[in-house]
Amino acid sequence: MLTSLNKSLITGFSIICIFFTSDLFAQVSTPTDQNNLITFQASPIDTKLKKDFEAWWTAAKTNNTSQLARYEQQFKHHTLYPMGRYLYLLENLNTAHHQDILAFITTYSELGLSNRLQHRYLNALANQQAWSNITTSHLTPANQQQQCLSKRALLVEQPNQLPLNDWQNFWLNNLNLHRSCREVEQFLHKQGLLNTDALLKRITALFNQQRHGQIRNIIAMLPPNEKLWNQAWLNLVQNPNEVASFDFNNIPEPYRAKVTFTSLHALSRHDPEHLLKLLEDTRFKAWLSADQHIQLQREAGLRLSYRFNELGWRTLDRLNNQRAEEATLIWQARYAIRHSKWTELASIISRMPEATAEQPQWRYWNARALEASGQAGHQQLYEQLAKDRNYYGFLAADRLDQPYIMPLSDARNELSQARANELIKTYPSLKLITALIEIDWRINAHREWHHLLNHAQQEDFFDLAKIAHEWGLHHLAITTLGRVQAWDAVNKRFPTPFQKHVTAQAAQHEIDQSFIFSIMRRESAFYPQARSPAGAQGLMQLMPNTARETARKQGLTSFRAQDIFKPEINIQLGSAYFAEMMTQFDHPVLAIAAYNAGPGRVSHWRTSLHLANIEKINADQWIDTLPFTETRRYVRQVLEHKLVYDFMLKIDEHHDPKQSSHITWNPPHRLTNYMAPIKAN
């Protein structure tokens, strides 16, 4: 790495610093080093290096041979060389030499770059129909898509060497086939290896897993006499409200029960009340087994319970008295929580599987139920829960009026020099990652880190998390520690980056810093480039329309779409939006729920309380009976993280964690301070 090596003092500690250079890891120690401790420090962004490397990339895009030769020579012995070669080959997949690409994949097999190039190259070869290059490359398929491309190449190049039975088993055992497998599927059919029985078996399996989009392709391969009733089956499942008038006699007798069950199962999602009525019809009773009848009642009961419908409660209560199952007990328990049926709740929890009943959530609600119904045992449950640092532990401590028990920083804060050298030798990708950070290519560093985790030994994860933390890759440190359940490493799991921006926005909008940190921690784990499948972006995961509207309200007239990835702007807009939710709902719990699910849904959920004749409900009951699993978890975690951040922002940093791993703490604002009862609209 092109950087000076004259930085060796960090926050007053005497340490040895290790910096990545182009060929080696150079170490610099202070004269007063006594403990032989090391840390990893990512250097500041090297603007000259970044400019040169990106110029190399530009030359690769335009295939400027003279510039390519210049930068190839400049970076020949630099840690970034694999990244540059990867970009060149990626930009020139259609013209680069086949052997050059294979050589890169083999030479850098320990890097994520190798896997990504293989994936892109096989796709490019398939698009070019260069099947001979696929068969002669002898690349090991890394996923199902690559398996299918390899099989298609064999199909063209070496059809007489096809292991047809293996292909048939592959087809039968992989219901979610990538589109690249369609040619293989058609070939198997033409060879007679996919007979009617095999096709019908696959159709049934696809119906059972509700993969309706693939069924039409299979129906097209059936003989004419089988196509008609299978198409009718698919139409019925896609329009289940027609089930009552459907003539099941047109379905062959061996499949009549399957068609009946799958169509009624589809109806459970559309109209569970209607399903329960149809299950009393003697015609359906005759075609369904006892287990299928119970399963359909279960599905209808669950669907109704999601809406806290009393018919759902009665259905699940009847089923649980006959044959209790975990899912039905949990949703019956949620109904009991919503409607304060405390005696029934204690009974329901007592019938849950032991592993479920012992979860903090159900231990807490068992204690609440026992306390509210005047039964013994709640005090002991609260005392046990209050020892834990989580949402339910904090609630239990509040009910006992006890201080919280908080963990201190894990004593394993530093890496030995020998240990650092071992990690460097074991995981070459660490060199590339730090070089990528130095040129601010953090998305690529992020990808390489996840590849590293997929191959690293679990006993190395804590030390790897230490490295990620020191480099400012907090999202990766948090992910890495989560993989090994290092919950008490609080200083790494709950960092406080972007402190200046958070402090300013907290003061501007009169909200606690800990709320902003908690939302960022839950939304993106402090990854500025985070994008969700739904389209939310940046540190505080704002939807583009929300960001644009909030920017307008904040007077950011020059706001552009890409600004959402700038930490200072994202924090400004996210803090402003959360403050807006606090003003609109005048309740922290409602504001947190609205930040996640939207204010419209929160208003609807409050209206549903009124429709259920509930004018007021305790906040803990409301949170744990929200209809969205994601929002239930989100609200609990933001509140839990807020208290941890209250602690982290005030704890005496000079406390020696070797003397004690935990500390009792009486916060100025306890969890129950944010848990006022929720009123119906």
What is the residue extent of each domain of the chain? 247-323, 340-405, 418-487, 493-656+665-679
Q: Is the pLDDT of residue 402 over 80?
A: yes
Which is more confidently placed, 84 or 35?
Answer: 84
Q: Is the pLDDT of residue 650 over 50?
A: yes
CA distance 218 to 632: 40
Going by DSSP bridges, is the β-strand pair 415-416/37-40 parallel, antiparallel, or unpaired? antiparallel
Looking at residue 22, what is its pLDDT?
31
Which is more confidently placed, 39 or 381?
Answer: 381
DSSP 8-state class, residue 42: P
Only one residue has tokens 């089930």, namely: 243
CA distance 262 to 256: 10
The answer to whether 229 and 252 have CB atoms below 8 angstroms apart is: yes
CA distance 181 to 151: 8
Q: For the domain bounded by 493-656+665-679, which CATH number is listed? A: 1.10.530.10
418-487 shares its CATH topology with 493-656+665-679: no
Alpha helices in 31-138 (DSSP H): 47-62, 65-74, 81-91, 98-107, 112-128, 131-137
Q: Which of 145-159, 467-481, 504-518, 570-584 has the lowest mean pLDDT?
A: 145-159
Instruction: State the chain's mean pLDDT as an integer.
Output: 88
CA distance 36 to 421: 13
The SS3 assignment for 227 reads helix
Q: Is the pLDDT of residue 413 over 80?
A: no
Q: Which of 3-12, 256-265, 332-341, 577-586 has the lowest mean pLDDT?
A: 3-12
Q: What are the distances in angstroms from CA 581 to CA 300, 508, 590?
A: 35, 15, 8
Read off the pLDDT of residues 538-551 as tens digits, 9 standing for 90 and up.
999 999 999 999 99
Only one residue has tokens 């260069």, namely: 130
The architecture (CATH level 2) of 418-487 comes to Orthogonal Bundle (1.10)
Q: How many helices (H) and strands (E) does the chain have?
A: 37, 10
Q: Which of 86-90, 350-354, 468-472, 671-675 has the lowest mean pLDDT?
A: 468-472
Read off the pLDDT of residues 17-37 as tens digits, 9 standing for 90 and up.
333 333 323 322 222 333 333
Q: Is the pLDDT of residue 597 over 60?
A: yes
pLDDT, average across residues 38-61: 83
Q: What are phi and psi of 108, to 5 degrees?
A: -110, 40
Looking at residue 329, what is its pLDDT?
97
Q: What are the distances in angstroms from CA 63 to CA 88, 102, 117, 221?
A: 8, 20, 18, 47
Read off the pLDDT of residues 621-648 as tens digits, 9 standing for 90 and up.
999 999 999 999 999 999 999 999 999 9
Looking at residue 3, what is its pLDDT?
32
Distant-in-sequence, close-in-space partners of 507: CB < 8 Å, separation ≥ 6 = none
Distant-in-sequence, close-in-space partners of 116: CB < 8 Å, separation ≥ 6 = 86, 447
Looking at residue 419, what is its pLDDT?
81
Looking at residue 2, what is its pLDDT?
29
Read off the pLDDT of residues 293-308 as tens digits, 9 standing for 90 and up.
999 999 999 999 999 9
Q: Which two tokens stand for residue 64?
A: 């400027």
pLDDT, average across residues 231-258: 94
pLDDT, average across residues 338-359: 97
The answer to whether 298 and 268 have CB atoms below 8 angstroms apart is: no
